[in-house]
Amino acid sequence: MKVTIHKLFEYFVETAAAEPPDCFIGFSFARPPRLKNFLADLDPELSLDWSGKSFLGLPTLRQRVLDQANLPQFSPDAVLITAGTAEANYLLFRQLLQAGDEIITDQPGWPQVGNIAKSIGARLVEVPRDEVQGWSLDPDAVAAAITPATRMIFLTNPNNPTGRLIPESDLRALAALADHHGIWLVVDEVYAGLEWAGPRPPSIAGLTPFGITTGSVSKALGLQGLRTGWMICQTPGVIRDAMILRENSSEIMNILGERIAEIALRPDRLAEALTWARDEGRATLDRMDAFVSAEPRLDWHRPEAGLIGLARLDGIDGESLARRLLEPPYRTFLLPGSAYGCPSHIRLGVGGGPETRLDEGLGRLSALLRAWPD
Ligand SMILES: Cc1ncc(COP(=O)(O)O)c(C=O)c1O
């Protein structure tokens, strides 16, 4: 069945076609570096052909991917380089699921999974996160959702859109569940690296042969335009099946994406970039937190990781507010919670750097909230 558009992407497409807003309260990635930051480390004689080294992707990049995920003991053949986390997820859904299978996911969560499951004829089973408990996910609720038809659990950790972390003990419980039932446990870790409330949780690929980590350089490093991501799995058939499907879409990796990502993930550069992104991210999150506290009609759980969170509105429909905010005199973008099935919420993001004009945007949001009829 044809893949249909989901609400989140539809909102982006629709609003991108309109007059560009002045301000953005919604970016999920750290301030993007410039090409000049990498030029000194790039070889001007680099051939712009395929790397010629492996259909899994540049071997040095695959080793860097393992190092940053704290899985240095794995073979680089446990990694497939992909066109972002989005492609890694897509390849997994298409190769590991069939019509009639059930796939469990968290709600709110990343809408890609529901969309592809529908096109395959798989059934999506949503396990609600608990807003009162700061959007936590109960592993027992995931266990209770398993049936003989369950083939996969798909989660985001840190969670998009709430920024909630699944702690290590719960990840271990989920890994044990996957082992016990023989179910794939795919954890999209694209927001890893900017943890505010504790250490980075372990990558799921290290906890069970059924665990598959997906990720990229898009968020904590702000390099989404490189379209460079990965999947990591100890089970060789998974990587091979994904490589075979990838040959039918992007075929091989984009060589500049691979080279620049490899430079960005070198340990000293990575440490410096993360320190920088953490300092800027924490400072902007502090400002956002103060803003939410001062707004009587807004409430949220400050994200435990990453640059986005979900705020509840008091008596206001999120999409009506987001659409009005896009119009003059406000001209400010934010994503309505309806993109995640949460109509009484809005997504607040602090990424993107100064070009987003976040503080100006927050001032305009405040003005609209105050003008909003009861
Ligand atoms: C949870 C999640 N997964 C995947 C993606 C896509 O990321 P990438 O640029 O790595 O393809 C996003 C982007 O917003 C995301 O939020």
- How far, in Å, from the CA of 328 to the mean position of ligand 1? 30
- Number of Cβ within 10 Å of residue 121's Cβ equals 12
pLDDT at 88: 98
Last residue of a domain, one of 229, 250, 266: 266
Q: Is the pLDDT of residue 172 over 90?
A: yes
pLDDT at 280: 96
**Is 330 near ligand 1, meaning CB less than 6 Å away?**
no
CATH number assigned to the domain comprising residue 226: 3.40.640.10
Dig out the tokens for 143 from the structure.
């266990």
Q: Is the pLDDT of residue 317 over 90?
A: yes
| Owning domain of residue 85 | 44-266
Helical segments of 29-128, H only: 36-39, 59-68, 84-96, 112-120
**Is 82 near ligand 1, meaning CB less than 6 Å away?**
no
Q: Is the pLDDT of residue 197 over 90?
A: no
Task: Answer whether residue 84 is part of any domain.
Answer: yes
Residues 274 and 129 in one domain: no
Taking only the tens place, the pLDDT of each residue in 220-247 is 999 999 999 999 999 989 999 999 999 9
Averaged over 159-170, what is the pLDDT? 97
- How far, in Å, from the CA of 170 to the mean position of ligand 1? 23
8 contact partners, CB below 8 Å, separation of at least 6:
111, 335, 339, 340
As for how many domains the chain has, the answer is 2
Of the pLDDT bands very low, low, confident and very high (cuts 50, 70, 90), residue 200 is very high
Q: For the whole prediction, is pTM greater than 0.95?
A: yes
**Is 84 near ligand 1, meaning CB less than 6 Å away?**
yes
pLDDT at 18: 83
Task: Answer whether residue 2 is part of any domain.
Answer: no
Residues 229 and 190 in one domain: yes
Dig out the tokens for 24 from the structure.
């953005």
**d(C-alpha 306, C-alpha 367), whole Å:** 27
Q: Is the pLDDT of residue 15 over 90?
A: no
Q: Which of 165, 190, 310 most suits a substitution to test ligand 1, by most atoms within 8 Å of the C-beta?
A: 190
Residue with the smallest CA separation from ligand 1 atom 6 is 86
Residues 202 and 331 in one domain: no
Taking only the tens place, the pLDDT of each residue in 118-144 is 999 999 999 999 999 999 999 999 999
Question: Which residue carries 């987003």 as its tokens?
Answer: 356
